[in-house]
Amino acid sequence: MKIARSKTTAFILIFSCILFFSPNLLAEQTNGKGNLIGKVYSKDGTTVIEGAIVNIRNVTSDTVYKSSKTDILGTFKIEGIEEGLYSVGIVTKEGNFNLENLVGIKANKTAIVTFALKQKAEVRGKVLEKPKTTSKIAKFFSSPIGIAIIIVSSVAIVYGVVTLTGKEEEVSPFKN
């Protein structure tokens, strides 16, 4: 009777371990891919663009995915995308457009986006760049003195945390 109980107990333990760890094993084996669905609007932000091609490039692996041409409603779809962050470029009859924002793709999920093309500001044929504005605080903390202050204050904070969380020894007349 004891042998039957021990075999039953062992079987139940093994079965429960397999059941407990099986979702994790399956999750590691599935290498899901995501999808991207969206619309492309013209520079005015309200008119859809037909015939545009959306290109996305993984920022870490440089893998490129292309959509088919957008339909009459301006919609596109890209399927089977690896998980990661992607930069976006759109090719239209008006030209090529690179968007500033990144798109995140998750495995087994579909991201839904809307893109509006942005017109470049031009004056006498020259493309205007954004003026570089750096605050005085940012300039100070990027200087050698600012970096030294950041390092010293970080060390002081870490030292304070370590000394405050350290255990005090119990005073005992029996300890030497």
Q: What is the pLDDT of residue 69?
A: 92
What are the C-alpha distances in Å from 3 to residues 6, 12, 77, 83? Answer: 5, 14, 61, 51
pLDDT digits (tens, 9 = 90+) for 72-87: 999 999 999 999 999 9
What CATH homologous superfamily does 34-127 map to? Immunoglobulins (2.60.40.10)
Which residue would you say has higher pLDDT here, 169 or 52?
Answer: 52
pLDDT digits (tens, 9 = 90+) for 154-170: 888 887 777 777 666 66
Rounded distance between C-alpha atoms, residue 49 and residue 71, angstroms: 8
Q: What is the pLDDT of residue 81?
A: 93
Which residue would you say has higher pLDDT here, 20 or 94?
Answer: 94
Domain boundaries, the chain: 1-30, 34-127
- At position 116, the amino acid (one-letter code) is A
Q: What is the pLDDT of residue 72?
A: 92
Q: What is the pLDDT of residue 71?
A: 93
| pTM of the complete model beyond 0.85 | no
pLDDT at 31 exceeding the cut of 80: no
pLDDT digits (tens, 9 = 90+) for 102-148: 899 998 889 899 988 876 544 444 444 545 556 777 777 778 888 88
Report yes or no: 101 and 88 within 8 Å, Cβ to Cβ: yes
